[in-house]
Structure 1
Amino acid sequence: MKFGKVSKEEFGMNKFRNDTGAHAIVLTEIGSSSFDSEGDWFKLVYKVHRRILIVDKNGYDEANMVITLYRGGEQEEKLLNLKASTYNLENGQVVETKMDGKSVFSEKIDKEYVNKRFTMPAVKEGSIIEYSYTVHSPFYQRLRPWNFQGEYPRLWSEYQVAIPEYFDYVQIQQGFESFAVKKSEIVRQTFSFVDRGASAGASSSTFTATPTVGKFTWASQDVPAIHPEKFITTTRNYVNRIEFQLSGITLPNTPRSSKQSTWGELMKNLMEDKDMGKYLTEPNYFLESMVNSLVSNTSSNEEKARKIYDWVRDNITKVGDDQIWTSQSLKTTFNSKKGNITDINILLGAMLIKAGLNAEAIVLSTRDHGYVFQHYPIYSRFNYTIIGLTLDDRYVTLDASDPLMGFGRLPIDCYNGGARKVNAFGDQLMLSADSIFEQRTTSVSILGMENGKMKGMRSRKSGYFESLALREKIKEEGKDKYLESLNKANNGLEINNLEFDGLDSLDKQLIESCNFEYAVDNPDIIYFTPMMDEAYKKNPFIAMERKFPVEMPYVSDEVFTLNWAIPQGYEVDELPKSARATLNGNDGYFEYILQQSDGYIQFRFRLQLKKANFLPEEYATLREFFDLVVKKQAEQIVLKKKK
């Protein structure tokens, strides 16, 4: 592919056979990573050339480009040879609009990363955009990964990598799509180096080396877009991708030098980093007065911890993006009362330590950020910091960045597998979705009918995370607005006398109670769905097949009971049959029990999911299980007037 040589035919490639509704199509993308000499050592040379067809305005996001560069110590990656053009077909001719070099802007992300941003010019529906660039990097340990799949279909995606024999990289591949090309060869390449001499004033000399070089090529053709699905953490875990981890260097006449850090080494470095764990080992005298005032009248370590946690949670406001680095000094966070998640939680840890408690930082990757490769310690796999606290005989995890989060609780997004303690050992801490148990219990009584309306009471105890979401909703819109939205959503069900128990008790599940009236359309015959507004409207698993695992945020147990006094003058005409079912033996359980006795109808529904994650091969039975649940929940009790 030659830059600027865009054919008229390419403008007609606006339909992808497996995704005719795609808003953009990557026509061709070719990347390469190779080594070159620089001074007396190597540098990495990364090149990208990409051509994209913008099908409609919903694909304009592809015209906003971001190139991320890394810097460490005194060295940094450099962006070179950036070219970008937009092509439009006007009166049968291809018209090129070049991007002005002044349109590139720099944006600091954190202490390690800088984004270079630019927007393609003259973009409209049907445009083709093209750009190419080169990145020179002194960081040989950071061989760039490549995604063969993304938000839009890719007709051709190719990555070439050339690695001298001195460098040993582990290749990590993931994804479900096969390669059209996958090949390798061994060649020899000559590198010229400059030895500047060991002492000042010494003359420099040139020397060469001709190692063998492994050349690898991977290419994919007609790769479909990958889109987020319901009950999936992130497509990042499943996108077709290859990445590299440096495991060692073997130079001529020298023993092999291992470059793969252990978790202990990586976390020890983080513990000593001035923008992260080092704050927890410093005296932090400025915290003494506040900590002493908070713990002065406490009688236990847990009470101390709760007082400090509550103060940080209630007084420090979260700003900025998720990352494992602090954005400012600890003192600035304390005085300004705002900071990013790591700022807040490192302050929490420092205050707990100041109170004589045993606290440490923990880093993790949130569900939307992707899994951590447990065999390959890499900083970039983490994006979130929490605090671990040893309290007598138990270990508690804390996150004070959410103003409604209870003590010892973490946001649901933190439960994504292996986290790491920031200590000299880098101990793993499993935060699994299977460890979260959400239990909801609903009890309904219908005790009479008056003026064509059934009257009843409902009490519902929500699971903890459902309670958290409800607290956030009520905080945002108020109780009256929340009640109004409930009544608007419930066809025929009018709720009143709404009360909450535990709204301000952030450690506890929320209990919601109310009275309700249910309007009967035809007084001669009553059709009633026993689960009322808590029934599934449709199966949450719509697709017939699924490539990716089902990843639910927790295991759950829902119980719904109904006690209905049959109204005077009515009799039961139809009563749905009871049913029970299990899912894959012991993975789930469902029961739907209805009986009539002494003028009452008793109903009990229970749905248990005993694990959070299901493999693609388990999807069909999971879908069938929910088909049964939805079908039974939709069945109605029918009462008719006695003759």
Structure 2
Amino acid sequence: MKALLFSGFLALTVCHVCAQKSPILYGIIPLEDLKMTTYPLDTSAVAVVLTDFGKVYTSINAVDVRLTYERHVRIKILKKEGLNWANFIIPLFHDGGHEERITRLRASTFNLEHGKLVETEMEKSSVFKEHHSHNINLQKFTFPNVKEGSVLELNVTIASDFLTAFPNWQFQFDIPVRWSEYWAFLHEFFVFEKYMQGYVPTTLYEVETVNHTDYVEFAHHWISKNVPAFKAEPFMTCKNDYFSKINIALSHVSFRNEMPLEIMSSWERLSDRLVDHDEFGKMITGSGFLKAKALEVTAGLTDPEQKVEAIFRYVQQTLEWNEINDKYPDNLKKVFEDKKGSAADINFVVAALLDKVDIPVDMVLLSTRDHGFVRKMYPMDRQLNYAIASVKLGDKLLLLDATEKYLPIGILPERCLNGEGLVISKTRFGWIPIEPKVKARTSINSDLVIDSQGELKGKMSFTYDGYAAQELRSNYFKKGESAYLKAFLSKKLWTEIEKSEFQNLSEIKKNPRQSHDVVVSEHVTMSGDLLYLNPMLSEQIQENVFKLENREYPVDFGKPFETTYVARFTLPDDIVVDEIPKPKLLTLPNGAAKYAYNVTQAGNVLNVVSLLQINKSLFDQTEYPDLRELYNLVVSKQAEQIVLKKK
């Protein structure tokens, strides 16, 4: 941030010491909090944040500007399921030779033992640093001597040189919060954008104007009381999108008698800055050490699309993703030598290799599903956390991510499917949709013979396409066949497997398939002369995950999917059909989803078809009732029995 200070301001020296203090004193814990066994406002809570206090302010002098961020938090552990709240992570931003620093850290566990308050203070040796991404390191520690009934207390101060990494404040967590308070002291020379998110309003928001001799400061003050625990619902993206939270970002700097200096600026200016940046665009046009490898991989190829695929396949099969999401790469030569790196490392290698064979390539920045959706009205690069490559071949746009070994070229990992991506380019700048190109398809075919005692015997085959194929391959090769089969069959009703066969697992362009010769002995229920058969021997949905009558958040499946179950049951001569379920078809408006179920008889053969299609990824709250009803129908129909009778 030193670049923000220029000649017209060098004479001013300011250091504001904030008078606002935490509402609690460290180690002074009310007896009722120590004795608390349940939280009155939420008796199911596994823990509760008793107090969470934070403040952030600037210190400015002739050569420097710094942020100071203080936090004082106290947490009560109520149940053993809440013990994980003893694990803390503090992210620290770094860039170049500068890094945020923890200047004070005190963490203690308080327990009431034999009527006395016992403090166990965390030792400094318990704190360790971990590399997280190109610009983030993590400080991790665990509170000592934590058990049910413990009170955890943390007091931390962080010094930062980065006004552009101004700390946000989260009022809501997975556990209830009794008191949350935040002060943000914003200097008049630094103009910040602020936006509130979430569904729980604050109890108080006020702004105090503080007049100083040479400047004005605005003290923004928020309080939230008795904030309920955030309740996650099925098929959500990042919970962080829905927590009650205040976001603050530096927009521009406006010193007196100086032209304003834009910081947030616009997405286009971010693109312009990155295109020629030494650690972004020039990583692609540079990296000359990759020239020989690019020519080797594409030797004999003249079609640009074939060159793209050859380079993509080479990187996909050669470099291993370390499971770190990042948008800025590290040293590509080291990544290439180590054959391992972050998402940015791997996809920048793809881009650099393509550049060496004269194929124009641009990077696309996006926010992964676990990072949250992008608020485009606030052009801040910290909203983006991932980089992929893009190539335009005629009218065809290829989006490339080589981190997953079992996805075809042009198919992005599911974590990337989160709305839109920003093309960083001199000629193609702009937002593009990041959408699934394929469904997750699973097709089950079974051909079974039932005997007069209700035992089923025959073959069951599973064929996969799209994201379902990737999931199968990933699990199979990660676990090995034996462990994979054990995990797969543990969820099935089958009594015995006589033989298993796998096909097309290594051929990415083909649909993988697994087949099993099975014996099912205890699936049919017998009562006198009647036999009751549920024909869904696999993929039965037994419970509707959408339990709430109304939903506050959109339903986001991530990608469309389709499950087709086709079963053929051959009956013995001494068994006849007494009753079969009625057919049912339900299609949601605009074909968003569909469920079809049908059982037919042809002589001594019963044919069963169950088809569930979810044809789009995102359903908003107004579509939720229809979606919930569709799942009610699926559960109901898949629970129905075929009634057979002995002659």
Instruction: Give the corresponding residue for 1:325.
Output: 328
1:183-202 aligned at under 5 Å gives the runs 183-190=206-213
Instruction: Give the corresponding residue for 1:174.
Output: 197
1:200-219 aligned at under 5 Å gives the runs 209-211=214-216, 213-219=217-223
1:55 paired residue among 66, 78, 82 = 78
Q: 1:536 to 1:283 in 2, by over 3 A?
A: closer
Instruction: Give the corresponding residue for 1:194.
Output: none
- Whether the 8 Å contact between 1:276 and 1:324 is mirrored in structure 2 is no
Unaligned runs of 5+ in 1: 191-208
Q: Residue by residue, what CA displacement relative to the aligned partner does 1:273-321 show, whole Å, maximum 9, x if unpaired?
A: 433432211151x323332232223352222222222222222222362
Kindly indicate whether residue 140 of structure 2 is the aligned counterpart of residue 136 of structure 1. Answer: no
2:352 paired residue among 341, 346, 350 = 350
- Whether the 8 Å contact between 1:388 and 1:397 is mirrored in structure 2 is yes
Amino acid at match of 1:629: V
1:431-470 aligned at under 5 Å gives the runs 431-432=434-435, 436-446=438-448, 449=451, 453-470=455-472
Q: 1:125 to 1:512 in 2, by over 3 A?
A: closer
Q: 1:480 to 1:95 in 2, by over 3 A?
A: closer
CA positional deviation for 1:490: 2.9
Q: Residue by residue, what CA displacement relative to the aligned partner does 1:404-427 show, whole Å, maximum 9, x if unpaired?
A: 222222211110111122323642
Q: Residue by residue, what CA displacement relative to the aligned partner does 1:193-218 show, whole Å, maximum 9, x if unpaired?
A: xxxxxxxxxxxxxxxx032x332221
Amino acid at match of 1:551: D
CA positional deviation for 1:553: 1.7
Kindly indicate whether residue 243 of structure 2 is the aligned counterpart of residue 230 of structure 1. Answer: no
- Whether the 8 Å contact between 2:134 and 2:326 is mirrored in structure 1 is no
CA positional deviation for 1:334: 2.1
CA positional deviation for 1:445: 3.5
Instruction: Give the corresponding residue for 1:157.
Output: 180
Counterparts of 1:391 and 1:570, CA distance in 2: 62
Q: 1:442 to 1:533 in 2, by over 3 A?
A: closer
Counterparts of 2:551 and 2:101, CA distance in 1: 42
Instruction: Give the corresponding residue for 1:501.
Output: 503
Unaligned runs of 5+ in 2: 1-23
1:145 paired residue among 168, 178, 183 = 168
1:89 paired residue among 88, 108, 112 = 112
Q: Determine helix, strand or coil for the equivalent of 1:347.
A: helix
- Whether the 8 Å contact between 1:374 and 1:418 is mirrored in structure 2 is no
CA positional deviation for 1:147: 0.4
- Whether the 8 Å contact between 1:47 and 1:134 is mirrored in structure 2 is yes
Counterparts of 1:169 and 1:214, CA distance in 2: 11
CA positional deviation for 1:450: 8.4
Instruction: Give the corresponding residue for 1:293.
Output: 296
Range moving further from structure 2, 516-525 or 603-612: 516-525
Q: 1:497 to 1:4 in 2, by over 3 A?
A: closer
Counterparts of 1:485 and 1:63, CA distance in 2: 32
Instruction: Give the corresponding residue for 2:267.
Output: 263
Kindly indicate whether residue 601 of structure 2 is the aligned counterpart of residue 591 of structure 1. Answer: no
Instruction: Give the corresponding residue for 2:574.
Output: 569
Q: 1:488 to 1:391 in 2, by over 3 A?
A: same
1:248 paired residue among 241, 249, 252 = 252
Range moving further from structure 2, 628-637 or 548-557: 548-557
1:399 paired residue among 398, 401, 407 = 401
TM-score, normalised to structure 1's length?
A: 0.88
Instruction: Give the corresponding residue for 1:200.
Output: none
Kindly indicate whether residue 40 of structure 2 is the aligned counterpart of residue 17 of structure 1. Answer: yes
Counterparts of 1:526 and 1:72, CA distance in 2: 70
CA positional deviation for 1:54: 2.6
Counterparts of 1:112 and 1:375, CA distance in 2: 23
Q: Residue by residue, what CA displacement relative to the aligned partner does 1:596-632 show, whole Å, maximum 9, x if unpaired?
A: 3444433332222222222334333322221111111
Counterparts of 1:283 and 1:69, CA distance in 2: 29
Counterparts of 2:80 and 2:489, CA distance in 1: 38
CA positional deviation for 1:37: 3.2
Q: 1:59 to 1:274 in 2, by over 3 A?
A: farther
Kindly indicate whether residue 629 of structure 2 is the aligned counterpart of residue 624 of structure 1. Answer: yes
Instruction: Give the corresponding residue for 1:203.
Output: none
Range moving further from structure 2, 304-313 or 152-161: 304-313
1:297-446 aligned at under 5 Å gives the runs 297-319=300-322, 321-327=324-330, 329-424=331-426, 426-432=429-435, 436-446=438-448
Range moving further from structure 2, 272-281 or 489-498: 489-498
- Whether the 8 Å contact between 2:451 and 2:571 is mirrored in structure 1 is no
1:525-536 aligned at under 5 Å gives the runs 525-536=530-541
Q: 1:347 to 1:36 in 2, by over 3 A?
A: closer
Amino acid at match of 2:492: N
Q: Determine helix, strand or coil for the equivalent of 2:538.
A: helix
Counterparts of 1:303 and 1:603, CA distance in 2: 44
1:270-289 aligned at under 5 Å gives the runs 270-282=274-286, 284=288, 286-289=289-292
Q: Residue by residue, what CA displacement relative to the aligned partner does 1:126-157 show, whole Å, maximum 9, x if unpaired?
A: 22222223333343333210000123221101
Counterparts of 1:404 and 1:63, CA distance in 2: 37
CA positional deviation for 1:171: 1.1
- Whether the 8 Å contact between 1:447 and 1:564 is mirrored in structure 2 is yes
Counterparts of 2:154 and 2:487, CA distance in 1: 49
Amino acid at match of 1:66: I
- Whether the 8 Å contact between 1:14 and 1:53 is mirrored in structure 2 is no
- Whether the 8 Å contact between 2:346 and 2:402 is mirrored in structure 1 is yes
Counterparts of 2:79 and 2:287, CA distance in 1: 58
- Whether the 8 Å contact between 1:362 and 1:420 is mirrored in structure 2 is yes
Q: CA RMSD in A?
A: 2.9
How many matched pairs?
A: 620
- Whether the 8 Å contact between 1:8 and 1:94 is mirrored in structure 2 is no
Q: 1:109 to 1:351 in 2, by over 3 A?
A: same
Kindly indicate whether residue 539 of structure 2 is the aligned counterpart of residue 537 of structure 1. Answer: no
Counterparts of 2:49 and 2:168, CA distance in 1: 18
Amino acid at match of 2:111: N
Q: Determine helix, strand or coil for the equivalent of 1:537.
A: coil
- Whether the 8 Å contact between 1:486 and 1:495 is mirrored in structure 2 is no
Amino acid at match of 1:606: L
Counterparts of 1:48 and 1:367, CA distance in 2: 28
Q: Residue by residue, what CA displacement relative to the aligned partner does 1:577-610 show, whole Å, maximum 9, x if unpaired?
A: 1112233563222221223344443333222222
Q: Residue by residue, what CA displacement relative to the aligned partner does 1:480-519 show, whole Å, maximum 9, x if unpaired?
A: 5544555544324644443333211113332334444444
Counterparts of 1:423 and 1:140, CA distance in 2: 27
Counterparts of 2:219 and 2:483, CA distance in 1: 63
Kindly indicate whether residue 7 of structure 2 is the aligned counterpart of residue 5 of structure 1. Answer: no
Amino acid at match of 2:635: V
Counterparts of 2:135 and 2:167, CA distance in 1: 15
Counterparts of 1:597 and 1:359, CA distance in 2: 58
1:603 paired residue among 608, 616, 630 = 608
Identical aligned pairs, as a percentage?
31
Counterparts of 1:47 and 1:27, CA distance in 2: 17
Q: Determine helix, strand or coil for the equivalent of 2:184.
A: strand
CA positional deviation for 1:93: 3.1
Counterparts of 2:126 and 2:447, CA distance in 1: 66
2:640 paired residue among 625, 635, 639 = 635
Instruction: Give the corresponding residue for 1:549.
Output: 554
Counterparts of 1:318 and 1:587, CA distance in 2: 35
Amino acid at match of 1:185: E
TM-score, normalised to structure 2's length?
A: 0.87
CA positional deviation for 1:228: 4.2
Range moving further from structure 2, 528-537 or 247-256: 247-256
CA positional deviation for 1:574: 0.8
Q: Determine helix, strand or coil for the equivalent of 1:390.
A: strand
Range moving further from structure 2, 14-23 or 96-105: 96-105
